[in-house]
Structures are given as C-alpha cells and as structure tokens.
Amino acid sequence: MRADQIPLSRGAFSRMSALGLDVPAVLAHAGLSLDLMSASRPVVTTSQFFAFWRSVEALCPDPSLGLRLGDGTRTEVYDMVTAAALHAGTLGDALDKLARYKRLTCPEDVVVEYTRDEAAVSMRWMLGEGHTPRLLVDAMFASNFALAERGTGRALHLRRIELTRRPADGALLQPHFRCELRFNAPQDRIVYPRSDLELPFVTQDEGHLANVLPLLEGSLREQTAATPLRDKVWNVLSRGMRGGHLRMAQVADALHLSPRTLQRRLGDAGTSYQQVLDQVRHHLARRLLDATDLDVGEIAFLLGFEELNSFNRAFRQWEGATPARWRTAASA
C-alpha cells in the first residue's frame, strides 16, 4: 500500500446510509466520485478522506453520527488490524496491537502512553492538513471504546477524553463516554485507568492470532524498510510535542540510531534535523491556532520553544504574521 492510501469499507458506506446519511450527496459535496460506492476496494487519499468527513459535518444534521458510526465496532469489524486487537488476550494487548499495526491499513498513527495510573491512546492522521474533522475524531474514539467494552464484555469507566477542539458537544459526548471531557488539548486522546489493561478479553482467539500476526509482522517489516527517514523523524517529533524540547539524541534513540548517523542520513536525504523540527512545529502550530483556544504562550510551550518571542519570530518566518494575527485572520 502506498503511504497515502485510506481504504473505505463498503460496509461502512452501508452503515452510514442505514443511519440516515445521504452518502452520494456527501461524496458530491466533497468532490469525490460516486463510483467509490460501487468499487470493490475503494481507496482515497488523506486529503480526500478529510474532505469527505468535512462534508459529512456540513450536510448531516445529526451531531451524534460520528459516535453512532464508531459504536458499530460493538458488532462489526472492518479491517484485519482491528480484528487482531479484538482477538487479543487483554485490553492492554489489544491497544498494543492497534498501536503497532494500525499504520498498515492507513496513515493513522496510534500511540499508547503510560503513566503509573493511566494509559492514554492518541490517534493522529500523519498526512492530514489542518485539524482532524470533529465527527471523525468522535468516530475513532467511539470505535476504540466500543472495541474495549466488546472485548472485555463489561462497561468500562474511562478516566477522561482529551480533545483538540474548542469546548463543544459536551452534552452529547459525556453521556456516551461517561467520563471527564477536556477541551483545548494538545492532542486527541482517550484515557483508560492503567489497571484496566489487565482485563481479559472474552473475545480472545489464539488460533486467529496465530494465523494473522505473521502476516502483519511481515507487512510491518516491509513498510518500515520503505518509510523515508525524514517521515520517521517527523512521526517521533509529532508524538513528543507536549512541552519541552525533544533533543536530536532522544529522537535518534527512538529510531535506534546514533545522533551522528541520524544527522548524516538526513543530510544524505537533503534535509536536517532542524529543518524537520521546524516543519513539524509549523504544522502543529497552525493546527492548534486554528482548532483550539489555547493561549499563544501555551502553544509555544507545547512546541518546545523556550521563549514566546522565539515562537513569534519563527511563526513570522513561516507565515509572514504573528501567531495572534494569523489566528485572527484564519477565524475571520
């Protein structure tokens, strides 16, 4: 699969239609071909995928559609990776499989971060421009939560949902997820109690995993070998933009390289660590300024700038305006 390919499930189209969505109208609004509905293996780019979901938001009067679509994971599974997670031994195993293999099906990066008491699952579209469409985020979180409850066979109690959006939809989201909601977050994350990771899955199927895991591992090795180093560095930096500056040595360690080797190989590829860092900061700065009400100083901190003036200077070089002025113009 090429890096920027997202397979669309014909079953998902059918479910959308069953929930009252006029799929042909959405496709037309997004500038996509109606042939996608009849194709045996419909595929779109990330840009087209986002356009589809933004058209859903524009045309669908039901703000709960994302939740209802994601909740379909309680009865259906549309891809091999989700099936592998469903057949894992515990919730922790399931989340690890999603994090390890999800990029094999589409350019979505799933990361599980652990603290002593929590396990936070973040989901990021690696090739997406701008912020992820709201209903798509709702669908991803609802699907993850549905998978966890289906697998464990019990009602779970999340710690919280963190959303990279301005405060909205609380009355809709809180009853569904039954937990604290935090808006204006630096990343979209669903947070489980760490103790829940030990919960066994009633859907465990070791026979299924014995058949499918070698295939997934083989595909993962092929994809890893084919992924440009610049993209690998971008991914590590994007995951780590939560305050503080990621040093090149830390990124090199995450990629199992020495700092000297990392710098040399980036140079051979026509770029440098600082250039990739600037590109990631630029990309995330635009997204946070556009999608959240975070203070400019908070955004500067999240992006690893030691001083607000440094962030202002860098952003003026990128966009020709200060972050505050760019935000005002973007919202006009």
**Same-domain pairing of 264 and 320:** yes
Number of domains in the chain: 2
CB of 104 closer than 8 Å to CB of 219: yes
Q: Are residues 233 and 200 in the same domain?
A: no
| pLDDT string in tens for the chain (332-residue length) | 346 889 887 788 889 999 999 999 999 999 999 999 999 889 999 999 999 999 999 999 999 999 999 999 999 988 899 999 999 999 999 999 999 999 999 899 999 999 999 999 999 998 888 889 999 999 999 999 999 999 999 999 999 999 999 998 999 999 999 999 999 999 999 999 999 999 999 999 999 999 999 999 999 999 999 999 999 999 999 988 887 778 999 999 999 999 999 999 999 999 999 999 999 999 999 999 999 999 999 999 999 999 999 999 999 999 999 999 999 998 87
Same-domain check for residues 173 and 110: yes
Three-state secondary structure call for residue 121: strand
* H-helix or E-strand spanning residue 111: strand 108-114
In a domain, 104, yes or no: yes
Spatial distance between the Cα atoms of 119 and 229, rounded to a whole number of angstroms: 28
Tokens of 325: 């002025």
Within-domain flag for 51:
no
Determine whether 85 is exposed, middle or buried from the number of CB atoms within 10 Å of its CB (0-12, 13-18, 19+). Answer: buried
Q: Are residues 151 and 264 in the same domain?
A: no
- 151 and 244 in one domain? no
Confidence (pTM)? 0.92
Which CATH number does the domain housing residue 305 bear? 1.10.10.60
For residue 183, is it within any domain? yes
Q: Could you tell me if 199 and 289 lie in one domain?
A: no
Q: Is residue 249 domain-shared with residue 119, that is, in the same domain? A: no
* 135 lies in the same domain as 247: no
Residue 27 lies in a domain: no
Report the CATH number at residue 124. Answer: 3.90.1520
Residue 144 inside a domain? The answer is yes
> Which pLDDT does position 164 carry in this prediction?
94
Its domain, for residue 152, covers 61-206
Is 140 within a domain? Answer: yes
Closest CA to 100 of 120, 84, 77, 78: 84
The pLDDT score that the predictor gives to residue 131 is: 87
Give yes or no: residues 242 and 181 share one domain: no
pLDDT number for residue 231? 92
Position 187 in a domain: yes
pLDDT at 3: 63
Cα-based angle 263, 266, 272 (whole degrees, multiple of 5) = 75
Same domain assignment for residues 89 and 170? yes
User: Is residue 31 in some structural domain?
Assistant: no
**174/303 same-domain check:** no
Verify that 91 and 174 share a domain, yes or no.
yes
